[in-house]
Amino acid sequence: MHVNDSHQFGTRAIHAGQQPDPSTGAIMTPIYQTSTFVQRSPGEIIGEYDYSRAANPTRDALEANLANLEGAKHGLCFSSGVAATGVVLHMLSAGDKVLLGDDVYGGTNRLFHRVFAQLGIETVMVDMTNLDEVKNAVDDRVKLIWLETPTNPTLKITDIEAVSKIAKSNNIILAVDNTFATPYLQNPLTLGADIVCHSTTKYIGGHSDSIGGALLTNNDEIHQKLKFIQLSEGAVPGIMECFLLLRSTKTLHVRMQRHCENAAKVAAFLDNHDGVERVIYPGLESHPQHELAKKQMPGFGGMITMYLRGGIEESRTMLETTKLFACAESLGGVESLIEHPAIMTHASVPADQREKLGIDDNLVRLSVGIEDVTDLIADLDHAISTALKGSKASAS
Ligand SMILES: *Cc1c(COP(=O)(O)O)cnc(C)c1O
């Protein structure tokens, strides 16, 4: 199939990077489940491939597909999101410094502070929504800025274009983890980022059945470095995983439309609920960066953070009571999930930093799936009233 830049997202999601198999006409990219490729004569390969760590046709199709969706020239896939993150860090050297968003994925935080710190790469945490703080943190040792937007779990929005200007004028590489927004809602490269990172485990995979990561860039030099590290370290995805992700990207736009629709309705419901103290959703006018979110994203995604009118016990009961919202870490699947960051995903974040970020004991994070939204709302309503029954909140 020949897709070009004038085709819309849904068309590119289904066709980009893929063509019928030349040897059989199979419409779907085959699972080239092979480690090696026969050579005609020593050093004379038959097609483009010699060994699957270096490249494999199924992985190539996925990498081309994801690159297209992010508006990138180059794409590389990895065995997990954190593996992809580590590859970016391996471009740096001892003595270099990184500015890291203060509200990033817990595993990212751990990788920077507990693995790469040992190799002499220093990390400074910065509130990326405060541009003065970003500017003031820059010095000539800073070689990389790494941010997420929206963040996890407090859904802060960073102005990617503004940070990219700071990065460019100081010769710093800007990497954006676009896992929450997906390429359907945000293309950081067009806003000036140098590298986009994805945990494909989440919305891109969308079915909670695989772990994977990806890096996308338009910069040839950065791509060559990343590709060399991919080959040298070998944290590549399995071929079956690549096939599963190619299946997933074909429905990314349809799933994201429904995630956004459902989340908007759930956010509005929670916002009006007596048992809920506060709702954070970029689509709500009460969100501190609602205007920026509107400018940067055509939709607001499927993640909602809420503060229950209660404490740790009420939150625990709420998470034990929901039936459709499964209590589990992770996000971005077709099924709805509910989790408690202070106990679960962000337990490794020191208590004082959790407090600074607002990750309180009554904060509950929802990954709104694509089930029928009336059922999701009924499930939450029941769980909240059960949690608050007998507590002070329900009496007030
Ligand atoms: C899950 C996640 C990661 C890590 O990805 P894995 O595939 O679990 O290794 C990185 N960033 C964000 C925003 C995530 O949600």
Query: Which domain covers residue 273, as residue numbers?
Result: 253-395
Q: How far is ligand 1, taken at its centre, from the CA of residue 213, in Å? A: 8
Q: Are 244 and 251 in contact (CB under 8 A)?
A: no
Q: What is the pTM (predicted TM-score) of this model?
A: 0.96
The minimum-distance atom of ligand 1 relative to the CA of 83 is 9
How many angstroms does the Cα of residue 27 sit away from the middle of ligand 1?
Answer: 31
- For residue 101, tell me if it sits in a domain: yes
Would you state the pLDDT for residue 148? 98
Number of domains in the chain: 2
Residues 169 and 229 in one domain: yes
- Which residues are identified as catalytic? 53, 105, 177, 202
CATH number for the domain spanning 17: value is 3.40.640.10
pLDDT tens for each residue of the chain, 396 residues long? 578 878 999 999 999 999 999 889 999 999 999 999 999 999 999 999 999 999 999 999 999 999 999 999 999 999 999 999 999 999 999 999 999 999 999 899 999 999 999 999 999 999 999 999 999 999 999 999 999 999 999 999 999 999 999 999 999 999 999 999 999 999 999 999 999 999 999 999 999 999 999 999 999 999 999 999 999 999 999 999 999 999 999 999 999 999 999 999 999 999 999 999 999 999 999 999 999 999 999 999 999 999 999 999 999 999 999 999 999 999 999 999 999 999 998 887 888 889 999 999 999 999 999 999 999 999 999 999 999 996 755 444
- State the CATH number of the domain containing residue 282: 3.90.1150.10
Give the residue from 203, 198, 202 showing the smallest Cα distance to 213: 198
Q: Is residue 2 part of a domain?
A: no
Residue 4 maps to a domain = no
Do 152 and 22 share a structural domain?
Answer: yes
Ligand 1 proximal residues by C-beta, below 6 Å: 80-82, 105, 107-108, 148, 152, 177, 179-180, 199, 201-202, 211, 213
Q: DSSP class of residue 289?
A: T
**Structural domain contains residue 177:** yes
Containing H/E element for 195? strand 195-199
- In angstroms, the CA 174 to CA 168 distance is 8
Measure the CA–CA gap between 86 and 133, rounded to whole angstroms: 25
Domain stop point among 232, 249, 266: 249
* Residue 243 sits in the same domain as residue 388: no
Does any domain span residue 131? yes
> What distance in Å separates the CA atoms of residue 30 and residue 239, rounded to the nearest whole number?
10
